[in-house]
Chains A and B, each alone.
Chain A
Amino acid sequence: MIELRRLSKHFADTTAVDAIDLSIARGELCVLVGTSGCGKSTTLRMINRLIEYSEGTLMVDGRPIDQLDAVQLRRRMGYAIQSTGLFPHWTVAQNIGLVPRLLKWPKSKIAQRVDELLNLLNMPAREFADKYPQQLSGGQAQRVGVARALAGDPDILLMDEPFAALDPITRSNLQDELLRILHQMGKTIVFVTHDIDEALKLADRIVIMDQGRIVQQGSAHELLSQPANEFVSQLLGKADRGLKQASLRQVQERMQPNIQGYQSEQPSISAKASLKQALSAMLWHQQDYLWVLDHQQQPQGLIELADIIPTKPQHRRPRS
């Protein structure tokens, strides 16, 4: 869907992006991660031609983008940024309806689309459609920013640290909502962040960049189990790596389907919770097992510490 081949961007005397190769498949959520100045935002902005690249090729749907009209190209790609960039003189509904208006949709279809998106993002249209951006909280404004990016029903969504300015709880909620929406819609997404936890949570594929180059790319598991170099393992948070990996797996993958002796007053955990949460609960209750419950609070099985750390005999601590 999006193909970058030996793509470079030189500014006056610096190279922001240095001959990177990257191909992003249809429906993939690809997250570019790195420290500030690593070229991740520049890369993103070259895809919708807010920045023109210096060398290489960049193809969207098999067509080099320099042969496409920049304005038309951007209308086919949603774009959401950290500071939202909502138009302060337009209502929420007008802001969201921007791209459909540019695409000359009929009025009734635009109104319907705006309502649909607001409801999708848990912002009742009746309450929010006529508000102005300055009347919204940070999280609400960011939702509107995402809704605006989705409004024209683009195949591709470009997101530049959209949640970076939010508090951790709002951020986490919006990440969950983004994942829910994307699973419904099947968009191709390029997402830029400096937050490795956000990348681990959202990404189908993580692309780690440093000094304008791609250092490593792969799934969260691949990166955590085999970091390519010191920079990557540092970025992944060396000491927390085990916990980060545990946060990627759900309890239901490791539980035993055994509910003998279940007592509802004993510590339990949701089947959808991560192994990290299970470990935390075990530490909290000072107990090496938890009952696993489904979303209706019915017992499904049991998870023991040994299920989370299934050590092979040679890795056990030798006892005399």
Chain B
Amino acid sequence: MRGLARLGPLWQPCLLLALLGLLVHNLANWESLFRLVQPDTRQVIYSRDSFSYLLWQHLALVGLAVVGSLMIGLSAAILVTRTRGRAFLPLVNQLASMGQTVPPVAVLALAVPVLGFGNPATVVALLIYGLFPIVRNGIAGLQGIDGAVLESARGMGMSAMQILWQVELPLAAKVILAGVRTSTTFAIATAAIGSTVGARTLGDPIISGLINGNNAYVIQGALLIGLLAISLDALFSAVDKWLPSTH
């Protein structure tokens, strides 16, 4: 365990990611295990795509969506916390909450006619759904900075841009990160639904298993999605510990 301890807060996500890799590459070899769940079915290992391919697809969709949410959400949070944008603060708050209340399935259904089947519609749905925690935490993080710090930053002669990049964003980083963490967890879980509109994700085995009454497929998909969510959450937790405390 000493070797693990040397990795500091990183050992936990490393361990989980290693486990995920192990599962992705070896799940197909554990046929006898899944045979126990589904004794009467001819095929018990999902094989239309490899699990590693689905994992990368899933991750790519989530990554794109979260980066998109972060860029749009953080920009919005920054804009409405400037003096000039303050009037839009309630509006943006409301829009973000609305994005949260609309179920992702509905967003998917609405996105498909515009963007067609497949990945783009899924990314957009995830992005809109993931916006809220980022906007909310972005605003909270930026507004939570000690007024005296901002006053002295201005008084020392820092420009507005310097204050934003060197003072505000670093001081809000922990809170913003917590938003990204929530948003990522949502996205990992929700991306599976993308499989219903033709995106390739780890939801494929689940959907296929539900349609064909094959619980082994469902378990395979759910296991990988669950482990992926836990691994990334642990990674965020490690990054959070690594960020310097600001209070």
Contacts and interface: CB of A to CB of B under 8 A. Distances in A.
Interface of A: 48, 50, 71-76, 79, 81, 83-89, 98-99, 102, 132, 134, 145, 148, 158
A134 B156 contact: no
B156 A75 contact: yes
Interface residues of B, number: 21
Given A71-B157, A99-B156, A99-B157, A50 B170 contact: no
Contact of A87 (B157, B159, B167, B245): B167
B6 interface: no
B156 A79 contact: yes
Contacts of B246: 88-89
A75 B157 contact: yes
A248 B173 CA distance: 51
B35 to A, nearest CB: 55
Contact of B247 (A50, A102, A134): A134
Nearest to A98: B156
9 contacts: A71-B158, A74-B154, A79-B156, A81-B151, A83-B148, A85-B152, A87-B167, A88-B246, A102-B156
Contacts of B24: none
A175 B244 CA distance: 33
B152 A81 contact: yes
B156 A84 contact: no
B40 interface: no
B54 interface: no
User: Which of A74, A81, A87, A148 has the largest count of B CB atoms less than 10 A from its CB?
Assistant: A87
A158 B157 CA distance: 13
B90 interface: no
B105 to A, nearest CB: 41
Nearest to B246: A88
Given A50-B154, A85-B153, A87-B171, 17 more contacts: A71-B157, A71-B158, A73-B157, A74-B155, A74-B157, A84-B148, A84-B152, A85-B146, A85-B150, A85-B152, A86-B152, A88-B146, A89-B171, A89-B244, A99-B156, A134-B247, A145-B152
A216 to B, nearest CB: 28
B245 to A, nearest CB: 8
A155 to B, nearest CB: 14
B149 interface: yes
Contacts of A148: 156
Contacts of A86: 149, 152
B241 to A, nearest CB: 15
Nearest to A94: B166
Nearest to A88: B246
Nearest to B160: A71
A158 B152 CA distance: 11
A75 B156 CA distance: 6
Contacts of B170: 89
Interface in B47-103: none
Contact of B152 (A79, A89, A134): A79
A281 B198 CA distance: 93
Given A88-B247, A134-B247, A71 B159 contact: yes
Contacts of B171: 87-89
Contacts of A158: 155
A61 to B, nearest CB: 16
A231 B57 CA distance: 77
Nearest to B150: A85
A74 B156 contact: yes
The 4 closest A-B pairs by CB, nearest first: A85-B152, A75-B157, A74-B157, A79-B155
A87 B146 CA distance: 9
B157 A85 contact: no
Contacts of A89: 170-171, 244, 246
Interface in B154-195: 154-159, 162, 167, 170-171
Nearest to A73: B157
Contacts of B151: 50, 81, 85
Given A50-B155, A99-B156, A81 B148 contact: yes
Contacts of B146: 83, 85, 88
Interface in B125-164: 146, 148-159, 162
A277 B156 CA distance: 40
Interface string B230-247: 000000000000001111
A87 B162 CA distance: 13
A74 to B, nearest CB: 4
Contacts of B158: 71, 98, 102
Contacts of A132: 244
Contact of B149 (A75, A79, A87, A134): A87
Contacts of B244: 89, 132
Contacts of B150: 85
B157 to A, nearest CB: 4
